[in-house]
Amino acid sequence: MIATLLTTIAAVLPLAAGHSSIFHPSMYGFNVTDKTFPYDNRPVAPLFDMTFSQWWFHGHLDHPPNPGDIFNLPAGKAATTEIACNKGATSYFNSSDGGDIRNPANPNDVCPGSGMDVYHTTGFDDLTGCALAIAYKNDAKDVKPEDFTVFSVNQTCVWTRFTDFQVPARMPPCPEGGCICAWFWIHSPNSGGEQNYMNGFKCNITSPTSNVALAKPKVPRRCGADPNNQKMQSAPANCTYGAKQPFYWFNKEQNNMFEGAFSPPIYKDLYNFVDGAQNDIFVDSYSSLPDPAPNAAMPVLADVPNGAPSSSPTSVPAGSPTATQRVGTNSTTLLTDQAASSNHCKVKPPTANIAARSLGYRHSADRSIWSMTKRSRRLQAGKRSSLWHIF
């Protein structure tokens, strides 16, 4: 039924000139065109109101990458992706039907010749972030939705063609033949209808230094302040901490999120997805991890020697008389006086090209979990109180 409907729509409407996708030869569906399916199922086509077989891996599982095409993810460093609304706007224009449409005056142009509404945003403050997730299996047809763990988030995505995703330093090596990864994006409700984006690709962790496994990913929870829904206060104890699944939303089958059309799940602090590497996704990341609930005890991070987790399990209220924060009933100190006095908590003024490039920050693997000035490129020196409102 849905295929018939989509075929009818495709016959009477021009091809979508917008939307977005990552592009790389390691993708499933890298060479899919508007003619491959009975409907427009190019990687940039949005996914909504579809059956599982249609939205899962964008329906491209039978269009795998060529042997040897793999996307390398350097442990502890940034992986640079190319995101565009047309393959012709990327380095891989040679295999695009329309040829090279890159903008020589702006190599970071996501959609040359089009406005930002084409990639579903009203501006920099309307960005909702996108994510990379990984499954430690070497056959995409063996991967199930619950196998994917989000390991990196770029909160200012989609904004530039070249977009960095920070890879946790402790990522373990992939099995022989590599891992399976996917890119996920849900755009702002202010910039178009309810839509999902998912594109799978073959990937491999390079230069791994750890064999610690990822924890079993759980479903994210909406726990941050949500003024648009008259929720002015965050509920940190109600967040999902540690390994989290991507959002599966607004399709006919196997959703894990059930928010309404005007309150889509987004890869931001609202769901406890920090900007950058998700460093608390490992089986040893927490010494205590209670089930989330509004009045639950807060989780306690473990003392991890190689790459401290980046998701802080508590937020210090603005104007707090002390920087030392104790959580739950066990009064575990998560922030020492030494950390409180460090220069990590000094707000740095934003640079002039912040809005021009949404490339992830670079940092050492063993940075403190409290180095928040580097966690968000949107933090402004004039809004110091927001430094502690991480949810």
Query: Which pLDDT tens digit goes with each residue over 124-178?
Result: 888 999 999 999 999 999 999 999 999 999 999 988 999 999 999 999 999 999 9
First to last CA, the chain: 41
Supply the pLDDT for residue 275.
98
> Could you give the CA distance from residue 105 to residue 358 in angstroms, rounded to a whole number?
18
Residue identified by tokens 């929720």 is 231
Give the predicted TM-score (pTM) of the model: 0.77
- Quick check: bond before 158 cis, omega within 30? yes
Q: Is 287 helix (H, G, I), strand (E, B) or coil?
A: strand
Supply the pLDDT for residue 342.
34
Provide, for the chain, the percentages of residues in helix, strand and coil under a 3-state DSSP scheme, each rounded to the nearest 5.
15, 20, 65
CB 217 within 8 A of CB 146: yes
> Could you give the CA distance from residue 121 to residue 189 in angstroms, rounded to a whole number?
9
Of 192, 177, 85, 195, the C-alpha closest to 140 is: 177
Q: Where are the alpha helices (DSSP H) in the chain?
A: 2-12, 52-55, 337-340
Concatenated DSSP letters of 174-210? PPTT-EEEEEEE---GGGSS--BEEEEEEEEEES---
> Could you give the CA distance from residue 388 to residue 319 in angstroms, rounded to a whole number?
10
> Could you give the CA distance from residue 24 to residue 363 in angstroms, rounded to a whole number?
26
Concatenated DSSP letters of 36-48? TSSS---TTS-B-
Q: Where are the alpha helices (DSSP H) in 197-314?
A: none
Residue identified by tokens 């059930």 is 258
**For 53, phi and psi rounded to 5 degrees?**
-65, -25
> Could you give the CA distance from residue 177 to residue 141 in angstroms, rounded to a whole number?
14
Supply the pLDDT for residue 306.
57
Residues of the chain with pLDDT under 70: 1-18, 115-122, 192-193, 305-391
> Could you give the CA distance from residue 70 to residue 174 in angstroms, rounded to a whole number?
12
Give the model confidence (pLDDT) of 14-33 as tens digits. 344 458 999 999 999 999 99
Query: Residue 77: what residue type?
Result: K
**For 119, phi and psi rounded to 5 degrees?**
-105, 35
Supply the pLDDT for residue 307.
53
Element (H, E) at 149: strand 149-154
Supply the pLDDT for residue 381.
33
Q: Tokens representing 258?
A: 């059930």
Q: Tokens representing 126?
A: 């309307």
Supply the pLDDT for residue 195.
86
